[in-house]
Structure 1
Amino acid sequence: MIALVDMDCFFAQIEQLDNPQWKNKPVAVTNGQLGSTIITSSYQARAFGIHTGMRLKQARQLCPALIQAPSRPQRYAQVSRKIMSSLLAITPDIEVYSVDEAFLDLSRCQQLYFGANDIGQRIKRRVFSVSGLRCSVGISGDRTTAKFAAKKDKPDGMCVIHPALAEQTLAPALVTALSGINKGIASFLARYDIICCGDMKRVPMSVLAKRFGHLGRRIWLMAQGKDPEPLSYNVKPPKTIGHGKVMPPQTRDKNVVLIYFQHMSEKVAARMRCFHYQAECFFIAAKTDQGWLKTKTHAGFYTDDGRVIYQLCQQFLQLYWSGQGVWQVQVTALAPQQGKQLDLFTEDNQQRQQVNTAMDNVNHRYGEFTLAPARLLDKSAMPNVIAPAWKPGPGSPRDYFL
């Protein structure tokens, strides 16, 4: 038996909790006071058609009384860690899926409770007692059906789908309602007239397996309430380490674009150093009206130095950018590795390593960018956001690079 705990409008709910005058009012969380894009919103705001990714200006047209709440990633991380730790009182078998979601394997503890409904209510009471927040809980025999169940009765809901009834319950649901089935996969399935989960049996598993491999076999079983994917209790090494930032619309000032790229470069570098990772290949991108300008570029050696990454960003702009308006920048280290030998055989590189170490120590103690390249000291318009992939857990080091 698997349970999925899903915090309802997590960031917005925290803002309403910390600001009681905002209770039951439309609240939108943005990336800082000057943020122009909505990260998430309360259910009261969603009732007006406001959604994640919407521009604040457009949202205010839909709801003039909308309350803007600048994001506070450190606060969200603090509450998330408290909630996830409290769930250990229910079962030790927990997969922290994201900052606001966790899977609980109830197999070893079912005999301690009075059925699935009892466990679900205990989970909800536990979360509320430690955080003051409401959550939705879905319980079933596999992780995909549990996640589907958690979405059925939001907010503050609970839904139990007995494993024997999972296939029947999922049959009328669109395949896109299942976690992990994106537009590309849905488009492929539509070629075979697979629109709802109940249509999946029209084709043999081998058709999906040939196209998607193991994922295809899993999708075929997911649609029938038989997801074979087990919970993962250990945090796997990252495949990428990246940061992106939405900019003021149509930014054409090269110096401003460079500041944003340098900010992201230093954040990626600090995050790599924190976990003792280095990378040689980086993905660099800028979003314009014409779409994304992007490239994969190689440093030629493994590095965790923000200056090196920033130099790659400068080269990227020189080669690909012709002055059009920029909306967003992205810097990502690809395939980071631990234990790689850095190029320290020159005096300059040794000094850079010493500077980075000293900077990390100061920033860890006094806050991110207490020490930073001079160009970044006036970066008040670039507040932090919590990374979607951030997961709280015992020993999670240094939240200052969220």
Structure 2
Amino acid sequence: MHIDMNAFFASVEQQANPELRGKPIAVIGAAKRTVVTTCSYEARAFGVRTGMNSWEAQKMCPQLIFVVGNNRKYTWTSTQIIGIMREFTPQVEVFSIDEAFLDVTGSRALFGPPEEIARQIKQRIRERFGLTCSVGVAPNKLLAKLASDMQKPDGLTVIRPEEVATVLERVPIKDLCGIGPKLQKQLTTLGIRSCGDLGRFPVPILKRKFGVVGEKLHYMGLGEDDSPVVPEEEADEVKTVGHSTTLDKDLSDRGEILKIMLQLSEMVGRRARRYGVAGKTITVTVRYPDFTTFSRQESRASATNSSEEIYQDAVRILDGIELEQPVRLLGVRLSKLSQQGEQLSLLEQDRKKALLAGAMDQVNDRFGEFSVTFGTLVGTASGAKVISPAWRPEGLRNVDVE
């Protein structure tokens, strides 16, 4: 089954503040320049949508109430909801902060048929948090996600094996997870508009047009998917650690840009140290106000998880870029990861740096991110402003948020 929380951030805010219930609200960032992260169903009735500029949303719904997002609140609530899911099966794959896949094949003897399991999960989430979710139950992940979108909010849709062909016949291809606007446009030029069309279309032509993906598209049109539900502990090893942030305002001043780079480097280094990994490749990502985005990277001779070394390499990369416009977004990523042994360096200077970083980490673990930080960052807003799509409740993908 696929469980998708309904208007998650907005619903959490409405439950936390009863005065917001039943009213059109939009969750936004704290920055002056911001977009709608998500909005309540009351706001959606006016045409407000995720990704809109705040001024555009206000124009569509003059009575819209803006609420500054509280990422800690959302990650905590998500973690608790995932705990409820795990009461029914250990096979839980967190897909994002507000949705997950569950394999309940082995749970039926204890909790009954899948529809009953779905109802029990929905009831527990509602009783504990006052939140609703839409659930899709189907033979595989592809169809379960499709089913969860069919009845929103607070829906429960079951697609049984014998119903697959009938259900898919008229479903638009854009409703399938994995088919975005660009791919949809390419398929439409071939006369493929529904899943039924896709399943019947000659496979050789699909393979000629899309390569190896062509055959996968054929099976998607038939509603076939053999990908398993993968719990966190069975997931593939994470290959990168990175952070990026959209700036409160476009920056041209090198000193201000370097402060952001140092902040991001510390966040990357801290996560790498927490999970005992180090990396050899540093990547810097830049986005301009016109949304032109590009990345540059360099590889080191030896792996590191030192925030200072990550920062120094990132600055060197940035200095090699001729910035043609002010900067809207910055990102720093550490990749080519390997497990790092706990043995300290034989060089006294390096030992002192490692011990200092460890001491800072211990303080920040206890009192919160950036409680102790570099002098140049004192007074600088800290923490991840946006929850990464790769967020997970534990492991290396777990991003501390403010």
Q: Shared fold (TM-score greater than 0.5)?
A: yes
Instruction: Please give the residue correspondences for 1:88-107 in structure 2 after superposition, counting only pairs within 5 Å.
Output: 88-107=86-105
Greater shift in the superposed pair: 264-273 or 94-103? 94-103
In the TM superposition, residue 211 of structure 1 has moved relative to its aligned partner by: 7.0
Give the 3-state SS of the residue equivalent to 2:250 in structure 1: strand
Q: Secondary structure at the match of 2:400?
A: helix
Aligned length: 399
Report the CA distance shift for 1:181/1:24 in structure 2 as closer, same or farther (over 3 A).
same
Counterparts of 2:309 and 2:199 in 1: how far apart (Å)? 52
CA offset digits 1:287-330 (Å, max 9, x no partner)? 11351242122233211112222223322332224362221111
1:255 maps to 2:273: no
Question: Residue 67 of structure 1 corresponds to which residue in structure 2?
Answer: 65
Corresponding letter in the other structure for 2:366: R
Q: How does 1:137-156 map to 2 (within 5 A)?
A: 137-156=135-154
2:299 aligns to what SS in structure 1? strand
Change (3 A) 1:343 1:183: farther
Q: Distance in 1 between matches of 2:387 and 2:272?
A: 16
Question: What is residue 289 of structure 2 aligned with on the other side?
Answer: 289
Per the alignment, residue 225 of structure 2 pairs with 227
CA displacement at 1:91 relative to structure 2: 2.7
Q: Who is 2:379 aligned against?
A: 378
Q: Residues 6-32 of structure 1: CA distance to partner in whole angstroms, max 9, x if unpaired?
A: 111111111111011011222222233
Specify the alignment match of 1:264 in structure 2: 264
Q: Is the 8 A contact 1:261 1:313 kept in 2?
A: yes
Pick which of 335-344 and 268-277 moved more: 335-344
1:175 is aligned to 2:184: no
Q: Which has the higher contact order (CA 8 A, sep 6+)?
A: 1
| 1:382–1:109 CA distance, 2 compared to 1 (3 A) | closer
Q: 1:7 aligns with which of 2, 5, 8?
A: 5
Whether the 8 Å contact between 1:218 and 1:228 is mirrored in structure 2 is: no
Q: Is the 8 A contact 1:72 1:385 kept in 2?
A: no
Q: Report the CA distance between 1:352 and its aligned residue.
A: 1.7
Deviates more, 1:11-20 or 1:378-387: 378-387
Q: Which residue of 1 aligns with 2:115?
A: 117
How far apart, CA to CA, are the structure 1 residues paired with 2:47 and 2:346? 58
Over the aligned positions, Cα root-mean-square deviation in angstroms equals 2.7
Distance 1:274 1:205 in 2: 47
Contact 1:32-1:71 within 8 A present in 2 as well = yes
Counterpart contact for 2:24–2:41, Cα < 8 Å: yes
Q: Does structure 2 retain, via aligned residues, the 8 Å contact 1:254–1:323?
A: no
| Contact preservation (8 Å) 1:175, 1:186 | yes
How far off is 1:144 after superposition? 0.8
- Residue number in structure 2 paired with 1:54: 52
Which amino acid is the alignment partner of residue 274 of structure 1? R
Report the Cα distance in structure 2 between the residues aligned to 1:98 and 1:73, rounded to whole angstroms: 14
| Residue 140 (structure 1) shift | 0.9
- Return closer, same or farther for 1:109/1:293 CA change in 2, 3 Å cut-off: closer
Specify the SS of the correspondent of 1:109: helix
Are the aligned partners of 1:267 and 1:401 in contact in 2 as well (CA < 8 Å)?
A: no
Q: Which moved more, 1:116-125 or 1:267-276?
A: 116-125
Segments of 5+ residues of structure 1 without an aligned counterpart are none
Residue 312 (structure 2) aligns with:
311
Deviation at 1:398, TM superposition (A): 7.5
Structure 1 residue 113: deviation in Å? 5.0
Q: CA deviation at 1:213?
A: 6.9
Distance 1:165 1:398 in 2: 38
Superposition deviation, residue 187 in structure 1: 4.6
The aligned residue for residue 246 of structure 2 is 246
Q: Cα distance 1:231–1:207, how it changes in 2: closer, same or farther (>3 A)?
A: farther
Q: Tell me if the contact between 1:35 and 1:70 (Cα under 8 Å) persists in the aligned partners.
A: no
Amino acid at match of 1:258: L
- Unmatched tracts of structure 2, length 5 or more: none
2:195 to 187, 194, 197: 197
Counterpart for residue 359 of structure 1: 360
Cα shift at 1:384:
3.5
Higher mean C-alpha displacement, 53-62 vs 364-373: 53-62
Q: Secondary structure at the match of 1:320?
A: coil
Q: Distance in 2 between matches of 1:312 and 1:342?
A: 23
User: What letter is aligned with 2:219?
Assistant: L
Q: Is the 8 A contact 1:250 1:324 kept in 2?
A: no
Q: Which amino acid in 2 is paired with 1:47?
A: A
Identical pairs, percent:
30
Q: In 2, distance between residues paired with 1:216 and 1:239?
A: 27
TM-score, structure 2 normalization: 0.89
TM-aligned CA deviation for residue 68 of structure 1: 2.2
Q: Residue 336 of structure 1: CA displacement?
A: 2.3
Moved more, 303-312 or 208-217: 208-217
Structure 1 residues 270, 20: CA separation in 2 closer, same or farther (over 3 Å shift)? same
Q: Secondary structure at the match of 2:196?
A: helix
SS at 2:149 equivalent: helix
Inter-partner Cα distance in structure 1 for 2:183 and 2:398: 37
